[in-house]
């Protein structure tokens, strides 16, 4: 079995790796690091949680150990789809480069341009950025990419999902064609293959797992949820979530709960807190400081349940996440792999539970087709009351219509509005039809004579 000290890494990098507690590289690291150190382009395809970040940070730090950055001209560039993933790469850089005098800058949204400009002006060896913020700095004239020697694209398939491919192509065009490119993705869609064919030169392809497969250390299960009344379905689903957490007991030391929509993330987190669970929400609409505070709490164990949108599905490196719960079945099958990849990392065991309603069965079938296995069905710990069928309405009794001959005069006569009034002959005044008062029937002359 290969050891890190056999990969020709810088001795100071090896010291940092040893202090971090690692001895043996993962398959993606073992395949990508030697090729990167030789200066070759690398196309890495591996499932999430297999150590892709170290696959490029370790050789990049070794290659940059000699030399010095110039103002506004970074020597290397790492592109990430989300702020969380960019921050994670920055932490890895700090861990492995702590014995070397290399500088870095993190360009992400939610942070002051002024602070980032100051870092770039001093010159950085490693620039870690999201595509949008990077182009913002470039268009403001604060950044030049002509000095980039190594360019890394991380989670390329997520870049595709988020619509960043045009930005990636533009950034490639701004960097020297002599650059070295390290390109990593969990899946290889046709659009991504087109980019690699265009911008990578005879890359070393390192593929350590079947495309979009889940780690074998993750125990998977799905609860087929059938709601009752439509107006109570959402609350019944949240009740099922709470019951699943309770059923896991002490085995659920912490968990990430994924929802498809940001509004459901907030609602779910508030519901859990209402019932006494230690939970907090994280999604793209939250302030960056709040997102950082929430993630820090989840990492250090002070927060047990993290309710998240897919913004946290990648790049959240917490090795000891015991459970992932999909409150919603993801719309894209690949997202299922990325979500459950937050547990069972670094060889640990994990558990992933998905709640599937009737409308999500097609999406579940697509996931099972992608991972090429059937996900075991679990019993729903909550018995949802079936809607009661409506009682048949009693038949109305139709009153038989009697002939006019059998009707009494009283039944045929309408009720009088002016009850108590009578005409000259003593009969009740019931209308102005056949029952005219006698004085009205008199002629004008007879009335004058009277």
Q: Which two tokens mark 352?
A: 């992933």
Beta carbons of 240 and 380 less than 8 angstroms apart: yes
Query: Helix, strand, coil shares of the chain as percentages rounded to 5?
Result: 40, 15, 45
Q: Rounded to whole angstroms, how far apart are CA atoms 181 and 76?
A: 10
User: For 287-308, how does the pLDDT look when each residue is reduced to its tens digit (9 = 90+)?
Assistant: 778 888 898 899 899 999 999 9
Mean pLDDT of 12-37: 93
User: For 434-450, how does the pLDDT look when each residue is reduced to its tens digit (9 = 90+)?
Assistant: 555 666 666 656 555 55
Q: Do domains 4-207 and 218-378 have the same CATH topology?
A: yes
Taking every pair of Cα atoms in the chain, the longest distance, rounded to a whole number of angstroms, is: 139
Beta carbons of 176 and 100 less than 8 angstroms apart: no
Instruction: Label residue 279 exposed, middle or buried (CB < 10 Å: 0-12, 13-18, 19+).
Output: buried
CA distances from residue 191 to 158, 195, 439 in whole angstroms, order as listed: 12, 7, 101
Q: CATH number of the domain at 218-378, out of 1.10.357.10, 2.30.30.90, 1.10.10.350, 3.40.50.300?
A: 3.40.50.300
* Verdict on whether the full-model pTM lies above 0.75: no
Regarding the domain with residue range 4-207, which homologous superfamily does it belong to in the CATH classification?
A: P-loop containing nucleotide triphosphate hydrolases (3.40.50.300)
Residue-range domain boundaries for the chain: 4-207, 218-378, 402-450
Share of the chain above pLDDT 70, in %: 81
DSSP letter string, 270-321: HHHHHTT--EEEE-TTS-HHHHHHHHHHHHTTS--EEEE-GGGSSS---TT-
User: For 165-187, how does the pLDDT look when each residue is reduced to its tens digit (9 = 90+)?
Assistant: 999 999 999 999 999 999 998 77
């Amino acid at each position: 079995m290969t050891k890190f000290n056999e990969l020709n890494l810088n001795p100071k990098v090896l010291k940092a790796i040893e202090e971090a507690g690692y001895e043996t590289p993962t398959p993606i690291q073992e395949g990508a690091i030697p090729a990167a150190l030789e200066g070759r382009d690398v196309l890495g395809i591996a499932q999430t949680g297999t150590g892709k970040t170290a696959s490029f940070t370790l050789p990049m730090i070794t290659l940059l150990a000699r030399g010095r950055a110039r103002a506004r001209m970074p020597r290397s560039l790492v592109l990430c789809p989300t702020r969380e993933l960019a921050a994670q790469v920055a932490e890895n850089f700090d861990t492995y480069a702590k014995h070397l005098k290399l500088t870095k800058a993190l360009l992400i949204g939610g942070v002051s341009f002024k602070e980032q400009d100051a870092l770039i002006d001093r010159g950085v060896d490693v620039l870690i950025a999201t595509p949008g913020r990077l182009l913002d700095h470039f268009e403001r004239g604060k950044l030049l990419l002509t000095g980039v020697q190594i360019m890394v694209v991380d989670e390329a398939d997520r870049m595709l999902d988020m619509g960043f491919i045009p930005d990636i192509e533009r950034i490639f065009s701004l960097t020297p064609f002599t650059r070295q490119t390290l390109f990593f993705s969990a899946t290889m869609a046709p659009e991504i293959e087109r980019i690699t064919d265009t911008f990578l030169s005879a890359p070393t392809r390192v593929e350590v797992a079947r495309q979009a497969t889940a780690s074998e250390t993750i125990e998977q299960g799905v609860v087929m949820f059938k709601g009752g009344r439509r107006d109570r379905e959402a609350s019944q689903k949240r009740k099922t979530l709470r019951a699943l957490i309770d059923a896991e007991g002490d085995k659920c030391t912490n968990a990430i709960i994924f929802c498809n929509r940001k509004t459901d993330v907030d609602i779910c987190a508030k519901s859990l807190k209402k019932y006494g669970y230690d939970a907090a929400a994280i999604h793209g609409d939250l302030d960056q400081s709040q997102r950082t505070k929430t993630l820090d709490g989840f990492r250090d164990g002070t927060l047990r349940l993290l309710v998240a949108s897919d913004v946290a599905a990648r790049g959240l490196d917490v090795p000891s996440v015991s459970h992932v719960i999909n409150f919603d079945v993801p719309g894209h099958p690949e997202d299922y792999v990325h979500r459950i990849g937050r547990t069972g990392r670094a060889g640990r065991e994990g558990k992933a539970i998905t709640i599937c309603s009737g409308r999500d069965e097609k999406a579940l079938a697509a996931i099972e087709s992608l991972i090429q296995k059937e996900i075991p069905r679990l019993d729903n710990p909550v018995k949802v009351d079936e809607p009661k069928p409506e009682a048949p309405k009693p038949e109305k009794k139709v009153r038989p219509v009697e002939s006019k001959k059998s009707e009494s005069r009283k039944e045929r006569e309408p009720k009088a509005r002016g009850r108590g009034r009578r005409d000259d002959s003593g009969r009740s005044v019931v209308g102005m039809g056949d029952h005219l008062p006698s004085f009205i029937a008199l002629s004008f002359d007879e009335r004058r004579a009277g």
